[in-house]
């Protein structure tokens, strides 16, 4: 079992890209400043980069799966040369949620089965309570970023709180930062 991989599970909206609320247009995509270099550093340190995102806008009919994919393509373009190892999304609405929708761990489980991931050596980074809860339930260490909705979700009791994805990567690579 020594060949299990370590991963960073990443929420998308509000974590890797700016939160714009049900983003359906590629022209609205803005990668968080510094995200490219932070993700490259994680990749260089041997972490798989896996996006795990709820996209209930599809289930609500606010945008199509094709529009969601166009948003992802634009984010990946902005982050080039970063490549995600996988991108998982749940289009379920909260009232029709299964274990696949965060805070359920279905998407994480799919990644674990596909890549052979050691969850105890992995992290979940997101800006909402559901991200922290998903990571905790899956057995990863959790980092709440203050970008997106993060400032409103500190009650989720993450293992770490970071200003943004850049500071989250620093925590992962170098340990907990000094106090405030």
CATH number at residue 165: 3.40.50.1000
Q: Exactly one of 11, 127, 131, 164 is catalytic; which is it?
A: 11
Q: Is residue 139 part of a domain?
A: yes
Q: Is residue 179 part of a domain?
A: no
Q: How many domains does the chain have?
A: 1
Q: Is residue 79 part of a domain?
A: yes
Q: Is residue 180 part of a domain?
A: no
Is 173's pLDDT higher than 90?
yes
Q: Residue 41 in contact with residue 173, Cβ under 8 Å?
A: yes
> pTM for this structure?
0.94
Q: 11 an active-site residue?
A: yes
Is 1's pLDDT higher than 70?
no
Q: Is residue 40 part of a domain?
A: yes
Cα(176)–Cα(162) distance, integer angstroms: 10
**pLDDT value at position 180?**
43
Beta bridge partners of 90: 54
Q: Is residue 105 part of a domain?
A: yes
Q: 159 an active-site residue?
A: no
Edge to edge, the sheet with strand 47-54 lists 86-90, 47-54, 6-10, 123-126, 141-145, 160-162
**Residues 48-75 pLDDT 10s:** 999 999 999 999 999 999 999 999 999 9
Cα(43)–Cα(45) distance, integer angstroms: 5
Residue span of the structural domain in which 161 resides? 6-174
Beta bridge partners of 124: 9, 142
Q: Exactly one of 3, 13, 28, 164 is catalytic; which is it?
A: 13
Q: Is residue 13 part of a domain?
A: yes
Quick one: average pLDDT of 79-106? Answer: 96
**Residues 29-44 pLDDT 10s:** 999 999 999 999 999 9
Q: Residue 119 in contact with residue 131, Cβ under 8 Å?
A: no
Is 155's pLDDT higher than 80?
no
Q: Is residue 47 part of a domain?
A: yes
Q: Residue 128: which of 8, 19, 6, 7 has the closest Cα?
A: 19
């Amino acid at each position: 079992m020594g060949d299990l991989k370590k991963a960073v599970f990443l929420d998308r909206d509000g974590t890797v890209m700016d939160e714009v609320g049900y983003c359906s247009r590629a022209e609205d995509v803005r990668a968080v400043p510094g995200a490219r270099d932070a993700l490259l550093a994680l990749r260089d340190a041997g972490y798989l980069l896996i996006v795990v995102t709820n996209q209930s806008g599809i289930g609500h009919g606010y945008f199509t799966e094709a529009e969601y994919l166009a948003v992802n393509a634009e984010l990946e373009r902005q982050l080039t040369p970063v490549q995600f190892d996988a991108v998982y999304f749940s289009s379920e609405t909260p009232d029709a949620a299964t274990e696949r929708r965060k805070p359920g761990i279905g998407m994480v489980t799919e990644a674990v089965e596909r890549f052979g991931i050691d969850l105890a050596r992995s992290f979940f980074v997101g800006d909402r309570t559901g991200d922290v809860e998903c990571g905790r339930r899956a057995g990863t260490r959790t980092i709440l970023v203050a970008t997106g909705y993060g400032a409103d979700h500190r009650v989720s009791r993450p293992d770490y709180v970071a200003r943004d994805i850049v500071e989250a990567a620093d925590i992962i690579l170098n340990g907990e930062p000094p106090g405030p």
